[in-house]
Amino acid sequence: MNAPNDTQFVTQHYIDGRWVDGAMGGTIAVVNPATGAHLTDVAAGTAHDVELAVASAARAFRAWRKTTGAERARYLHAIATAVEARRKRLAILQSLNNGKSQQEAHMDVDDVIATFRYYAQLAERPDDATGEEVSIPSTEHRARICREPCGVAALIVPWNFPMVTTAWKLAPALAAGCTVVLKPSEITPLPELELASAIASVSLPTGVFNVVTGTGADVGAPLVAHQGVAKVSFTGSTGVGQTVMKTAADTLKGVSLELGGKSSILVFDDADLELAVELVATGGFFNSGQMCSATSRVLVARELAPALLARLVERAERIVVGDPFAPGVQMGPLVNRAQFERVRGYIEQGIADGARIVTGGGRPAEVPEHGFFIAPTIFADVPPTSALWRDEIFGPVLCVRVFDTEQEAVALANDSEYGLVATIVTADEARGERVARALEAGVVWVNTPQLIYPQTSWGGYKRSSIGRELGPFGLAAFQEIKQVLTRRQAN
């Protein structure tokens, strides 16, 4: 299919149930990363817009917190249905603004739908108005644990999976009874604003859901600092996450952080070679490698390394790179020029550090002239001290190293300041379980692609995360725990 040239975009903030321009009238240019062409301009928010949005959410919270789980579930199901109705349009905007292939873009929309459905199911469980009874060794007292919404939640989401990360935060926040102010990335606001339009169409009570577009400095920072915000849920770089945490400390608000990763895939000598090649390729090149979960450090048993590397190079060179709307395209561009230059800088630094480039490294052939494309790139013999091996690159760049023993493989994988994910490829079920338990990572896949289900969990160890998303953990992130102790009534 071809990219539409007559697409209409949502470009305003959504505050207090209305679409509005920013208070200062400023705008931010939005670009198509496949062509470098200007798409539109969206409202550039300021602290004043944040103030209006937080005030709206605070007013709405007084009534929204008292709704039943069943009532909130109906809204969540309605949102999922509204997203389903706009599936094609949302996928188009995702490709236009983010650069994802159409196949990947549709997968993202399906993830959004599944997440809202899941949290609707959690919310519609029968309400327990008296709380959960706790057994205590006393005949005099009765203890109950009650879960209550924490208040106004600020949701700050990134550009690499904009709609998905929004759903992972927004669905549990609404299910918990929180009201929200969402800040999309200023780089990819268009699919987010269309998603917001779908959400607005279900007629949530005024003020429950608000969106302010803008930069981190002009919108994100005042949101995090605002005394009316009870909880911040942020996904982005580790450096910005540290700033969020420091700012939130001034008002002692709750913080959940989903940050960086530099993850490993461990391929043992008994691995199925075809499976290993496919898992390595998808783990490193999906979404043009712009994933915190990218398994960009490839650890392979020495005896299997020559065969794996040869097949991996062949697999990488078959990947069709180009405009996301062109037939057969499997990998699109990087999201913007800044990211393009950043990844190129890492490739140049890797070569300077003595790593051996075996494929890629430059622009692919026959891609749009002004797009931000980098060919799937593979390095071998990467020094463990190189930034290529240690830093999160966020691009289609894999680094391969060999190991001789299981213990060495685990040690190399754990030798990182991050601990988000890992993948294991082995025919030995016991070893798969043993290594999975030894790895310092929040998610481990064994002989399987990077599948993420809303019923499970998401987050990592060390500098990768504080807290968890998805599953019941995602709901708990937006809840306060209250203990109520009473005397038992005499029979």
* DSSP assignments along 88-134, one per residue: HHHHHHHHHHH---HHHHHHHHHHHHHHHHHHHHHHTSPP-TT-EEE
Does residue 6 carry a pLDDT above 90? Answer: no
Active-site annotation holder among 150, 178, 194, 292: 292
Which residues of the chain does CATH 3.40.309.10 include? 264-453
Does residue 126 carry a pLDDT above 80? Answer: no
Active site residue 258: yes
> CA-CA distance, 54 to 15, in Å (whole number)?
9
Q: What is the pLDDT of residues 41-53, one digit of tens each?
A: 999 999 999 999 9
Which residues of the chain does CATH 3.40.605.10 include? 13-259+465-483
Q: Which amino acid is at 15?
A: I
The class level of CATH for 13-259+465-483 reads alpha beta
Q: What is the pLDDT of residues 270-301, one digit of tens each?
A: 999 999 999 999 999 999 999 999 999 999 99
Cα separations in angstroms, 371 against 252, 324, 344, 491? 43, 11, 14, 77
pTM of the model: 0.95
Q: What is the CATH number of domain 264-453?
A: 3.40.309.10
pLDDT given at position 491: 63
Structure token digits, residue 210:
């608000």
Cα separations in angstroms, 379 against 281, 295, 312? 13, 14, 11
- The per-residue pLDDT of the chain, averaged, comes to 95
Active-site annotation holder among 258, 392, 399, 469: 258
Residues 304 and 269: beta-carbon distance below 8 Å:
yes
Does residue 26 carry a pLDDT above 60? Answer: yes
Residues 400 and 382: beta-carbon distance below 8 Å:
yes
pLDDT given at position 22: 86
Report residue 134 CA to chain centroid gap.
35
123: closest CA among 80, 88, 77?
77
**Residue 1 confidence class, pLDDT cut points 50, 70, 90:** very low
Active site residue 292: yes
pLDDT given at position 128: 60
Q: Which amino acid is at 416?
A: S
pLDDT given at position 372: 98
Lowest mean pLDDT among 222-231, 349-358, 481-490: 481-490
Q: Is 488 exposed, middle or buried (0-12, 13-18, 19+ CB in 10 A)?
A: exposed
